[in-house]
Amino acid sequence: MMDMANSSVASGLADLLRPYAEAVESAMAPALTDDAVPGTLGEAMRYACLNGGKRLRPALVFLSAETVAESNSWRADPLPAALAVELVHCYSLVHDDLPAMDDDTLRRGLATCHVKFGEAMAILTGDALLTRAFDLLASGYADSGLAVKLIAELAGGAGPAGMIAGQAADMGLCEVPGGDAGRRYIHLRKTAALLRAAARAGGICAGADEAQLDALGTFGEKIGLAFQASDDLLDAVGSAGTIGKTPGKDARAGKRTYAGELGIEQTRRLVADLTGQAGEALKGFGGRAEKLRELAELLARRDR
């Protein structure tokens, strides 16, 4: 019965994300193909981005835009922003897997980038994906004011006060408080910051006002924390065949995880609480936010 339930959740999540994933993936290969880029570097960039993944972050850009307005009244097409967010996410995975970081050999069920191409090329691949993301935002929008807002949003979520700060804290490279405050510091930045930026980016593309952007940002933050707590559960109880990466590494590395510090059952309750808070943040959107609420619920129940 549990396997059937998990299969249903996985199928439901895949169905919800599929149209957005397909839109991003159809644009991704051309965005990563440039005759001026050395051949092996281009191959590594495509390898890092085109070998699966849920495409959660770009889908969140689109879903947030849809929650604010109909597509025919969007201020601008969310596609370049969605693609840029996904390239930043892929760069972060390439760098996270490096020997100096998490030292992992498996990602999405395949050899990690540094295993396949070497450590130096993996570092350069991550650098290339990050810079290409901002190039897409700068060149993808005729409205320069909109482009600047999107660039600032993504830089804030991914930069030294956002995702990079979370990774530094997660690696024990900077001092953070003990207990819940320290754990929250890490995961608000390591995971939730980019999801918050993705949700707000979609709102910006749709012409959201400040109250709507705040609501979308809160939603992204709450599902980001829930997503990380779920990841911690999967790392503790999942298998490589199911989750597509090496399980148990966080515990062996002494990482500060929800499952490790709170225990399995309390972490499950936390995921449920955060998912409820995410849904509450969307109440001002009424029925237009139904897909976002469904996304939050499916993410909370996933097993991969």
Segment 64-82, tens digit of pLDDT: 999 999 999 999 999 999 9
Percent above pLDDT 70 for the chain: 92
Where helices occur in the chain by DSSP H, the ranges are: 2-31, 39-49, 56-68, 79-96, 113-117, 119-140, 144-158, 163-170, 179-187, 193-206, 210-237, 240-243, 249-252, 258-262, 264-281, 290-300
Which letter does DSSP use for residue 260 in this model? H
Cβ contacts of 290 within 8 Å, gap of 6 or more = none
Domain coverage including residue 166: 2-300
Q: What is the mean pLDDT of residues 236-245?
A: 59
H helix intervals, 73-118: 79-96, 113-117
Q: Number of folded domains in the chain?
A: 1
Mean confidence (pLDDT) of the chain: 92
pLDDT-derived band of residue 256, with 50, 70 and 90 as boundaries?
A: confident
pTM score of the predicted model: 0.93
CATH number (domain holding residue 168): 1.10.600.10
150-179: average pLDDT: 95
Q: Tell me, what amino acid is at 282?
A: L
Helix axes 193-206, 79-96, angle to 10 degrees: 170
From residue 4, alpha-carbon distances to 11, 17, 242 in Å are: 10, 20, 14
For residue 47, what pLDDT band results from cuts at 50, 70 and 90? very high
Residue 303 has pLDDT above 80, yes or no: no
Distances (CA, A) of 111 to 104, 227, 248, 260: 9, 24, 17, 27
